[in-house]
Amino acid sequence: MGKWQRRSFLATGAALSMGVGLASSGAGDADDSDGTSSVNAALDTDLPDPTRRPNPTMNEDWATYRGDAGQTRCIVDGHDFDGDALVPVWSADHDGSVAVADDTVYTSTADGVVALDAEDGTLVWENLDILAHDPAVAADVVCLTTDEGVVALDRSDGTVRWEASFDPADSVTRHAVAYDAAFVVVDGTLYALEVDDGSIRWERESITLESPVGPEGSFEFSRAPAAANGVVYAATHRTVLALEPETGDEVWRNEEVYQDVESPIHANASAVVVDWWSDIDQGVHDVKTGEVKGVITSETDHEITLGEDVYITGDSFNLYGGSVEACEREWEVPCAYNIGQAVICGETIYVYFGQARGDRGDYDQELVALDKNDGTEKWAISKNDAPVGYVRAISGNTLYVDHDGELVAFREGASDDGC
């Protein structure tokens, strides 16, 4: 485990305090040496609870870099875009993922972090002293990951509120911001950091198996966590867990053999999806018990998109979707090594197909809208006709794409002459 440092700042940037190697609270340094049952009956029996939102005060479509704290890239009741009416309304330089909250767009550039007015793309503020990525909005801060840990910037002016740095930090996963905390894995240790000041709420260094398979039988955390259903979902190479967010105590665990990779967990009220025992399989777990319901095949370099009833993923030759409940592929669209990361918005999938390699695919450098239930095309826009690209976010009636290093905002209606 790396040494932890927290730096808190006033709005002016002056340092208030520094803590080094602080002990955690709650379930600090828990390693499950005594072992637990698959479902911990001593905890709140209502957990996991699909009615408990990870950020109940937020009412945004895309408040974090993967849409929500469950890392799903799904907007259940999102806007239905008319492809014939979509036009670019503004563009800005950017170099990373996007979060949108309270009519402000947060993203990173090659030089730092910026906030843009969602209406017209004008600069609200920029911080050129911080190189960070993957914005996630919580309360009055936006949390981002760095090469050393997590940083929180004031949403009003971009000044640093606090920075949690781990030295050394060989690996920092992406984070999930929920329940007034930022959950992140650094060097194999799962941390819960308080959103208001960056202090450690709790930490867990490893998980000891109930049925050890090795000399020690314990494993470090290896994946970016997800938050949904009132719990935090985390995983090691041998275990998937649901954790109580205030203490880090186990709600349930499932012991299987998983890929030892840093891919994220995806979770919503319907399923918890984790890379399984091969690099082409995703295990689908019951949200309340952890039981494996089935396996989804996924060979794309991108992560799955998880809806309430459908999932979207693919391989080198097909984009496909299927039932979350049945874990079965139900339709596919041919591609040629060129599918991007899909977004489910309402009843529609929005996905960009990059430059095709070969002639097998149906699309080549086109932004496409597909019916989520059967994959039929609703519309397609070519890069030759508009500045389209990979989908970065959808918020309200605005669709954000990356077009050759620029963030372009599309809406239905008249184009802004300045775009």
C-beta neighbour count of 254 within 10 angstroms? 22
pLDDT at 210: 83
Give the strand pairing for 74-75 and 343-345: parallel
pLDDT at 412: 98
pLDDT at position 235 over 60 = yes
Looking at the chain, the whole-number percentage of residues with pLDDT higher than 90 is 75
pLDDT at 28: 37
Q: Decide: 165 and 148 in contact? Cβ < 8 Å.
A: yes
Q: How many CA atoms lie within 13 A of 72 on its CB side?
A: 27
Report DSSP letters for 60-126, one per residue: -SBSBTTBSTT---EETT-----TTTEEEEEEEE--S-EEEETTEEEEE-SSSEEEEETTT--EEEE
pLDDT at 351: 98
Architecture of domain 3-22+61-74+104-346: 7 Propeller (2.130)
Q: Decide: 384 and 364 in contact? Cβ < 8 Å.
A: no
Coil, helix or strand for 129?
A: coil
| 276 phi/psi in degrees, rounded to 5 | -100, -145
**Six token digits for residue 244:** 């109580």
pLDDT at 415: 60
**Six token digits for residue 323:** 């039932």
pLDDT at 262: 66
Distances (CA, A) of 33 to 30, 225, 231, 244: 8, 22, 22, 18
Of 236 and 227, the structure prediction assigns the larger pLDDT to: 227
CA proximity to 409, closest of 98, 153, 74: 98
Top-ranked range on mean pLDDT: pick from 30-34, 38-42, 340-344:
340-344
Over the stretch 366-401, which tens digit does the pLDDT of each residue have? 999 999 999 999 999 999 999 999 999 999 999 999
pLDDT at 12: 31
Distances (CA, A) of 385 to 88, 116, 253, 301, 413: 11, 26, 50, 27, 16
pLDDT at 261: 65
Start-to-end CA span in the chain (Å): 48
Residue type, 237: H
Over the stretch 111-122, which tens digit does the pLDDT of each residue have? 999 999 999 999
Task: Give the confidence band of 33 by pLDDT, cuts at 50, 70, 90.
Answer: very low
Which range among 2-16, 132-146, 147-161, 183-197 shows the weakest confidence by mean pLDDT?
2-16
Q: How many helices (H) and strands (E) does the chain have?
A: 0, 37
The predicted model gives 304-327 an average pLDDT of: 95
pLDDT at 41: 53
Q: How far apart are CA 235 and CA 245, in angstroms?
A: 15
pLDDT at 330: 97
Which range among 49-53, 170-174, 226-230, 329-333 shows the weakest confidence by mean pLDDT?
170-174
Over the stretch 136-147, which tens digit does the pLDDT of each residue have? 999 999 999 999
Which range among 18-22, 275-279, 346-350, 392-396 shows the weakest confidence by mean pLDDT?
18-22
Cα–Cα–Cα angle for 208, 212, 213, rounded to 5 degrees:
125
pLDDT at position 180 over 80 = yes
Q: How far apart are CA 290 and CA 47, in angstroms?
A: 12
Task: Give the confidence band of 29 by pLDDT, cuts at 50, 70, 90.
Answer: very low
pLDDT at 34: 36
Buried b (16+ CB within 10 A) or exposed e, 305-332: bbbeebbbbbbbbbbbbbebeebeeebe
**Six token digits for residue 218:** 């314990």
pLDDT at 27: 37
Average pLDDT score over the chain? 88
